[in-house]
Amino acid sequence: MSRKSHPLDPLFHPKSVVIVGASKTPGKIGHALLTNVLKYGFKGPVYPVNPKYEEIEDLKCYPTVLDIPGEIDLVVVAIPAENVPKVIGEIGAKGGKVAVVISSGFKEVGRDDLEKELLEYGRRYGVRILGPNIFGVAYTPKRLNATFGPTEVREGSIAFITQSGALGIALMGWTIVEKIGLSALISVGNKSDIDDADLLEWLKDDPHTKVVLVYMEGVKDGRKFLKVAREVSKKKPIVVIKAGRTARGMKAVSSHTGSLAGMDSVYSAAFEQAGILRADNVEEAFDWAVLFSTGKVPLGEETVIITNGGGVGVLATDACEVNRIKLLDPPEDLREAFSSYMPPFGSARNPVDITGQATHVEFEGAVESAIKHDSVKNIIVLYCQTAVSDPIKLAEVLVEQNRSTEKPMVASFIGGEEVAEAMEIMREREFPAYPTPERAVKALAAMLRWGRRRKLLDRV
Ligand code: ACO
């Protein structure tokens, strides 16, 4: 079934992209925006607008939006703030639907009047506004990179909405290094018009997005945000990093984006009720999102730990207890199955210790036993590098096993260079692998929390 049309469709699925303030000068924002759109491979027409040029990057350049011959829908605006409202009027007159306003110089510097004028033009001419004071928008399924960040954006299923531009741009590069795939990356800046709630509403029905991650400093309309978040959380998880937890942090927020950070405990309680998962920091948020991006949903609580290292097994057991993950007492038939993949001095109880002499073959057998047994709902695999095992072969086995089952699986690999390579293989093939047992456990705990909250939301 195709989805109904939505006012924000042109932001993600534009028929064409217009760049007002497109520049010939490398190093300028208007140049980076144009070259990113072209190099990342947007398929539709691209129209640069700048009265100074006849052409830029072999494309005909237009003096104003009104001179563009074709239809327009998405317009990126990167000109000095004073002139933006008037250009919004021209965009509306030409039939443009959404303006991505990169320009700074509005509310965040005390120019509330200019931001109000911008919004009035938008309302009067029927143009929705993203920003101002943003680095742009990217949507990988449509090969759209209308940002002045790095050109490459790794494709995947995490949508990231960020109120901090610099953090968003920095994370674009970081996600590539970490092999984390994004469906969308949206800079919201001052949120003069389009806000988190509007974006969540669109992303709820986006088949390419499996989890939404939000960095926020403040919410414009809390009631609307929570109402939408509640609906989205029933379908896909929302992970929020809410900055401004401390008194000083709140002050920093107000001078950064002009938002009111609000009482931290109020946010936490409201998030919980709406099914939102609150992460403490960027690392945690992306750890969780990597597991959610597998698209798996919790099937139950009972979890087994399978390891070749007693110590990491104990650490993970503690972490499971602290994070409310229920460890299964394996029934006898399952213990027997586990025992066939370990020497007599191993342990078939949970944590299942297949011992330091295990190779990828024993891991495969033990994990397969857990996958096949109905009593097991989640699997944690912990590997410590030994000279008798090959982490790369194990990574390949786990990737396949993870694909073969609906049960959530996470892993932690600890070791040297080959382990780093194995981690890369797993991340590249969307198997959630982490450098420490605690991070793997916390990611699974977040998924189980979402499962519990989702059940409660369904009952309301
Ligand atoms: N129509 C079309 N083109 C125009 C118009 C107009 N009305 N007005 C100006 N232009 C052209 C100019 O001719 C110029 O072209 P050129 O580069 O070929 O000379 C181009 O648009 C840009 O105009 P400039 O006056 O040169 O302005 P400049 O590039 O210095 O700055 C910008 C524009 C980038 C929008 C700036 O005002 C600004 O807001 N910068 C901050 C952006 C930002 O940081 N946003 C937040 C991001 S998030 C983060 O923190 C990373």
pLDDT in tens, the chain (460 residues): 456 799 999 999 999 999 999 999 999 999 999 999 999 999 999 999 999 999 999 999 999 999 999 899 999 999 999 999 999 999 999 999 999 999 999 999 999 999 999 999 999 999 999 999 999 999 999 999 999 999 999 999 999 999 999 889 988 988 998 899 999 999 999 999 999 999 999 999 999 999 999 999 888 888 999 999 999 999 999 999 988 777 777 777 766 666 655 677 888 888 999 999 999 999 999 999 999 999 999 999 999 999 999 999 999 999 999 999 999 999 999 999 999 999 999 999 999 999 999 999 999 999 999 999 999 999 999 999 999 999 999 999 999 999 999 999 999 999 999 999 999 999 999 999 999 999 999 999 999 999 999 988 877 6
CB 445 within 8 A of CB 379: no
Return d(Cα 34, Cα 156) in angstroms, integer.
Answer: 23
Nearest residue (CA) to ligand 1, atom 38? 103
Which atom of ligand 1 has the smallest separation from the CA of 165?
A: 48
Ligand 1 center–CA 31 separation, angstroms: 10
Provide the 10 A C-beta neighbour count for residue 352: 29
CB 326 within 8 A of CB 451: no
Q: Say which amino acid occupies 40.
A: Y
Which residues form ligand 1's pocket by a CB distance below 6 Å? 20-21, 23-25, 28-30, 49-52, 78-80, 83, 87, 102-105, 133-135, 165-166, 169
Which residue ranges form the domains of the chain, and what is each CATH number? 9-292 (3.40.50.261), 303-459 (3.40.50.261)
pTM over 0.85: yes
Q: Which two tokens stand for residue 174?
A: 């970081």
Nearest to 140, CA basis, from 48, 209, 44? 209
Mutate to test the pocket of ligand 1, among 49, 79, 88 (most ligand atoms within 8 A of CB): 79
Mutate to test the pocket of ligand 1, among 19, 29, 187 (most ligand atoms within 8 A of CB): 29
Question: What pLDDT does residue 360 have?
Answer: 98
DSSP H or E stretch at residue 311: helix 310-322
Pair type for strands 136-139 and 98-101: unpaired
Ligand 1 center–CA 263 separation, angstroms: 36
Instruction: Please enumerate in sequence order all residues whose Cβ is within 8 A of that of 119, keeping only pairs 6 or more positions apart, or say none.
Output: 129, 192, 193
Return d(Cα 266, Cα 262) in angstroms, integer.
Answer: 8
Return d(Cα 263, Cα 268) in angstroms, integer.
Answer: 9
CB 342 within 8 A of CB 354: yes
Nearest to 447, CA basis, from 240, 289, 274? 289
Q: What is the CA radius of gyration of the chain?
A: 25
Ligand 1 center–CA 28 separation, angstroms: 8
Residue 400, burial from CB neighbour count under 10 angstroms (0-12, 13-18, 19+): exposed
Q: Say which amino acid occupies 103.
A: S
**Integer CA distances (angstroms), 124 to 93, 127, 230, in order:** 10, 8, 31
Omega before residue 331 within 30° of 0, cis = no
Question: What pLDDT does residue 88 have?
Answer: 98
Q: What's the half-sphere exposure (Cβ side, CA atoms, 13 Å) at 221?
A: 13
229: left (phi over 0), alpha (psi -120 to 50) or beta: alpha
Q: Which two tokens stand for residue 23?
A: 């520049």
Task: Kindly provide the residue ranges of all beta strands, DSSP E only, lying in 298-348, ordered along the sequence.
Answer: 303-307
Question: What pLDDT does residue 1 have?
Answer: 45
CB 214 within 8 A of CB 161: yes
